[in-house]
Structure 1
Amino acid sequence: MSSGDEASLALPDGRLIDYFDGGDPSGRPIFFQPGSPNTRIMGKLWHQTAQAAEVRIISVSRPGYGGSTAITDRPTLSAAGRDLADLADSLGLDQYAVVGSSGGGPFAVAAAAADPQRVRALGVVAGAGPWREIADPSAEPEERACLALLDEGDLAGARVGMRHLVENVWQADLRKLDDAARLDAWLGEDPLAGDEAYRAIMADAMRAILEGTEGAVFDALAIGAGWDLDLRAVQAPTLLWYGEADEVCTVEYGRWYAERIADAELIVLPGEDHLTVGDSHRPEVLAALLKAWQ
């Protein structure tokens, strides 16, 4: 049985984009935007489920992760959305769906807004939102300080500040640990933390995200900045899965999307937290996206 393929393509502007191409090669294509910070490797967690559902799952590394060329201009959600449309062009896809998990949620929405004629269904699984608008104003003061520089037009200063956070706060402790200890620290109460196949994929994913900082910087600035999306451009039926007990990406984010996307359904999962929503519902997510496909 195929384990999927790792590949890279040149975009029209010459940048490269890395992706994982798995599931059923002849199935309907669904792009997966992994959480943040993370890479195409997370698509491997969907591979067997996608095979069973007869879905082709294509997971991308956003700019700055792995071999995907970093963007030196201002990071935006719409830039990542256009990258996905360009990748769909290169793969010869005339229609596709998109799903994003956690920090990948906004980038999945961006893809649906950037290519409304071809995106047939959109899924957001415990997805992040415009947190500066929704979260408590006292939350994440250091990140807010970096984003304030970006608001003022100081892109270089915002990058330096966010890179410092990535290297010295988010990654510093993990870099000191071996693979096993890193996984234990990263996975915490994850319901799949004891599954060896899951741990192997997550170990690969962690090594990839610790190779550099530019991907995490891109994500943090693009998500935290003022969003450059018109959610009214999203025409695809949209399914929003959120956990009632999720304190990372709260149900408030799901309500925010549901109020702004015309054909959106919010599904609140009682008692479930961020990790449970992200890791425990892949078969239902793929089945629902296929059913919603227009």
Structure 2
Amino acid sequence: MELKDYYTILGVKPSDDLKAIKTAYRRLARKYHPDVSSEANAEAQFREVAEAYEVLKDTERRAEYDQLWQHRNDPPAGRQARTGNAHSAEDFSDIFSSIFAERARHSAQRHAVRGQDIELDVAVFLEETLAEQTRTIQYRQPVYNAFGQLEREITKTLNVKIPAGVGDGERIRLKGQGTAGSGGGASGDLWLVVHIAPHPLFDIVGHDLEVVVPVAPWEAALGAKVPVPTLKDRILLTIPAGSQAGQRMRIKGKGLVSKSKHGDLYAVLKVVMPPAPDKHTAELWQQLADAHTAFDARQDWGKA
């Protein structure tokens, strides 16, 4: 069994650095990879190139190889005086093969690489955050070869649980559902990145919600009961007499769910004027104005 010249196999010189060795290896690996090569002996050449690279990329193993190669023609200790014969190629090859096999086992452990994580955006409606949801998702999982090149993508389907109280931007980890590892490494994870879909009525403030409630001027002035939507149902909200535009009214426990409590819903009053008045309505507004001549709506306006 011949002691192979790994430098010649890779087409590099013993003085070349690791960068040159890596470059040569990648070029030859692409040339002889069985999946893409048209060479007749591609598989055997590929194995030989990979074997040479495994030795020369490692500083310690390369030094041992260099020493063996340098003394490959030296006479054997204890045998020279008796026979005058030099070491046979088999002697060195057997020694090196033993070293290589042992180190290859350790190398496989040292070079176990964890697979890559995958991120997937998931849109969630506000109403869906009130309770745990089961969602069926599909995503594309990349498959890489031993050289880190993308070979293909496979479609995966999972049934996942979206916990109650999930927030915008929250990340949910699904362990081991990312890309596969190499060299015995663990698979990466799948991360679901939650995005709360904008709601036409509710604004999110922490774990509380705000909803703008339009009221007529006389409802604000005289008081009224008006229907107000929540995430689950509709309630009747009591508007006190003399309420002001922009006033916030707390509706306890009707906000978002958290791990420890429910948030609140705040109704923000918005006084909405009726259309331009006819003659009769204008007279009524005038009577109202005459009854409140001492009232100045801008009394405190503009003051520091």
In the superposition, the TM-score normalised over structure 1's length comes to 0.23
Which of 1 and 2 has greater Rg?
Answer: 2
Q: Which has the higher helix share?
A: 1
In the superposition, the TM-score normalised over structure 2's length comes to 0.22
Q: Which has the higher strand share?
A: 2
